[in-house]
Each structure stands twice: as structure tokens, then as C-alpha cells.
């Protein structure tokens, strides 16, 4: 069968929007039969970011008949299914966390949860952008610098920016160049504004901040891949952070997804150490010696407790 190659940029129901590789044309496609990836226990066989093979049917629409092997993917538990996942996006080069100190406030716990998910699902790198620095008071700027240092010490790239200020554009461009990124952040942190900065032709709808809740109004409902041709890159906007969770992550695995914990894990007395109350724990000692930040460690304990409390 002579097929065409493409990448899935959007999915809705049984239809998938595919960008054809050779012509860069957008084709609406359906699946051929019960196409499944056997190694992924998921309710949706095709996700945004998947590389697919398809044919053009007589009605001008496409028929997907094969999916290339995925290198990674982020997922959530499928609604009503205890053991199956819903793949949100696949074949990701990096996670971009867009955070803010106010309007709305992004907690460090939220950031750590997203970083753990990225590490667990084999996303090669993560970047944190503290946005809206144009609104920061001197005290807030000092706080942002403190937070940035915490994550830089843990091995992550961190920048304090304003996506409304073109002066920060080179820094952002450096991170998106040539990559497929997933953009994560609370509504109102400036995700849509960032997308429009990277490609003004997108004209992504931006949401207002609610004066009642001080939280952003959701403007995105489904994961969508936006093309950034001038950077030879793609960026996937996500449907809202409540859609992501710790699917298939066990409590004893979490410490392996903290890069700043890794140098100490082999020195713990017990191989199954959870770094909570166990004696002779090298991780707790590193925290006491300020080699691991207290904030990161406390967030780690929160993740462990959350996983242990899950039904």
C-alpha cells in the first residue's frame, strides 16, 4: 500500500487532523478498523504528536492505517477505567512549565508534580518559565529568583520572563528551536499569549483573569499541536492540568524522578527506602545539609502521601 506520512496535530472523537509531511497540507482522517498499539494500554489509539501513515479516500479524507512507534507520551487515567490510560500527547522533546507568582499563583508543589510526570514518561528535558515579571514587586522578584535557584540546583533550565516583553524573546526562542514541546500551566499564566508570541499567525484566543477567583478562564479544551515554522518546531497546548495525573506511578518510584535525589539513593541503608522515616537515609541527610532543598523534599513527601492515599 502506497501511503502518505503525517503527524497528528489535533484529535476530536473519531477524527484526527493530520499534517501531511510532503505537502504540509492538513487532512482530516479516520482510523482503519481497530488500529491499536499493543504496548500502550490506552483507550485512544492515536494521540496528538503521533507519526502516522494514511491513504486518501475517494471523499478526500484520509484513512490512518499505521502508527509509528512512540518514543514517549504523557497521559491521564481514562474516565471510568482503572487500568487504562488516555494518551494526551506523544513524541515529546521537552516540557515547558509556565508559572506565575500571582494572578494566578503557581505553587512549587504543582511544578514538582509536573516535573515528576515528565521524568516518569521519559521526556528528555524540562524548562520552567516564571512569567509576568513585569508585574513583580521587588519582593516578588527576589522570591522568583529564589525559586529559580532551587530548580537550577536540581538541574533544570529556569528563566524569569514576561511574554509581553519582546526582550525575552531570544531566551524563549532558544528553548523551542527544533523541538516538539508540551506547554503546561494553570489557566491565566499566559500560555495563549506565549503561543501568539511564537507565531502571531496562530491568533490563539487569550482568556481573562476572573476578578472573583483570580484564576484564568479556560480557553483550551483539547490538546492541540501548533506549528512554529520559523523555529522548525511544534508546541502542544494541553487541555487543562486537571487532565494529567500520576497514572501508573508507584510511591517507591518517585525518588528516581527527582534528579537532585539521584546522587544519594544508593547510599540509603534500605534499597526500598521511601526517604520518610527510615533510618540511615542519605536523602534526608542531604536535606539536612542543604544539598537538597527543603521545598523540593516537602513536595516529594506530598506526592508520596498522595499516591499512598489513592484508592
Structural domains for the chain: 4-70 (2.40.50.140), 89-243 (3.40.50.300), 251-309 (1.10.40.50)
Residues 6+ apart with CB under 8 A from 138: none
Cell of 123: 521526556
Task: Calculate helix-pair angle for 138-153, 108-120, nearest 10 degrees.
Answer: 30
Nearest to 190 by CA among 210, 174, 166, 206: 206
Is 231 in contact with 178 (CB distance < 8 Å)?
Answer: yes
Res 214: pLDDT? 34
Q: Across-strand partners of 15?
A: 12
The alpha-carbon radius of gyration of the chain (Å, integer) is 21
Is 260 in contact with 154 (CB distance < 8 Å)?
Answer: yes
pTM of the model: 0.89
Residues 6+ apart with CB under 8 A from 269: 278, 279, 280, 281
Res 32: pLDDT? 85
Q: How far apart are CA 302 and CA 25, in angstroms?
A: 46
Half-sphere exposure of 56 (CA within 13 A, CB side): 9
Res 3: pLDDT? 87
Res 259: pLDDT? 97
Q: Per residue of the chain (311 residues), what is the pLDDT tens digit?
A: 578 999 999 988 889 999 999 999 999 999 887 666 556 677 788 999 999 999 999 999 999 999 999 999 988 777 765 667 788 899 999 999 999 998 889 999 999 999 999 999 999 999 999 999 999 999 999 999 999 999 999 999 999 999 999 899 999 999 999 999 999 998 889 998 999 889 988 877 665 332 222 333 333 347 899 999 999 999 998 855 454 677 788 999 999 999 999 999 999 999 999 999 999 999 999 999 999 999 999 999 999 999 998 77
Our CA dihedral for 110, 116, 121, 123, rounded to 10 degrees, sits at 90
Cell of 55: 491513504
Cell of 71: 518514543
Cell of 92: 515529546
- HEC per residue, the chain: CCCEEEEEEEEECCEEEEEECCCCCEEEEEECCCCCCCCCCECCCCCECCEEEEEECCCCCEEEEEECCCCCEEEEECCCCCCCEEEEEECCCEEEEEEECCCCCCCHHHHHHHHHHHHHCCCCEEEEEEECHHHCCHHHHHHHHHHHHHHHHCCCEEEECCCCCHHHHHHHHHHHCCCEEEEECCCCCCHHHHHHHHCHHHCCCCCCECCCCCCECCCCCCCEEEEEHHHCEEEEECCCHHHCCCCCCCHHHHHHHCCCCHHHHCCCCCCCCCCCCCCCCHHHHHHHCCCCCHHHHHHHHHHHHHHHHCC
Amino acid at each position: 500500500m502506497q501511503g502518505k506520512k503525517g503527524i497528528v496535530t489535533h484529535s476530536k472523537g473519531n477524527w484526527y487532523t493530520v499534517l501531511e509531511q510532503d505537502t504540509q497540507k492538513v487532512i482530516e482522517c479516520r482510523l482503519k478498523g481497530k488500529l491499536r498499539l499493543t504496548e500502550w494500554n490506552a483507550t485512544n489509539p492515536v494521540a496528538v504528536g503521533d507519526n502516522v501513515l494514511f491513504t486518501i479516500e475517494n471523499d478526500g479524507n484520509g484513512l490512518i492505517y499505521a502508527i509509528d512507534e512512540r518514543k514517549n507520551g504523557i497521559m491521564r487515567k481514562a474516565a471510568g477505567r482503572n487500568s487504562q490510560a488516555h494518551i494526551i500527547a506523544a513524541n515529546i522533546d521537552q516540557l515547558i512549565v509556565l508559572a506565575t507568582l500571582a494572578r494566578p499563583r503557581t505553587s512549587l508543589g504543582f511544578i514538582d508534580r509536573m516535573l515528576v510526570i515528565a521524568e516518569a514518561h521519559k521526556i528528555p528535558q524540562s524548562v520552567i518559565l516564571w512569567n509576568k515579571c513585569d508585574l513583580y514587586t521587588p519582593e516578588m522578584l527576589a522570591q522568583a529568583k529564589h525559586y529559580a535557584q532551587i530548580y537550577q540546583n536540581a538541574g533544570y533550565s529556569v528563566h524569569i520572563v514576561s511574554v509581553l516583553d519582546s526582550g525575552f524573546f531570544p531566551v524563549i526562542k532558544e528553548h523551542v528551536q527544533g523541538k516538539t514541546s508540551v506547554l503546561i500551566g494553570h489557566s491565566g499564566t499566559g500560555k495563549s499569549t506565549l503561543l501568539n508570541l511564537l507565531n502571531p499567525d496562530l491568533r490563539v484566543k487569550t482568556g481573562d483573569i476572573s476578578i472573583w477567583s483570580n484564576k484564568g478562564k479556560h480557553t483550551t479544551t483539547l490538546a492541540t499541536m501548533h506549528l512554529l515554522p520559523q523555529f522548525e518546531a511544534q508546541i502542544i497546548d494541553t487541555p487543562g492540568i486537571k487532565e494529567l495525573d500520576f497514572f501508573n506511578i508507584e510511591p517507591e518510584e518517585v525518588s528516581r524522578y527527582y534528579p537532585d535525589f539521584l546522587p544519594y539513593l544508593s547510599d540509603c541503608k534500605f534499597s526500598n527506602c521511601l526517604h520518610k522515616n527510615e533510618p540511615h537515609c542519605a536523602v534526608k541527610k542531604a536535606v539536612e545539609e542543604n544539598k537538597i532543598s527543603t521545598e523540593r523534599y516537602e513536595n516529594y513527601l506530598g506526592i508520596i502521601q498522595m499516591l499512598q492515599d489513592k484508592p
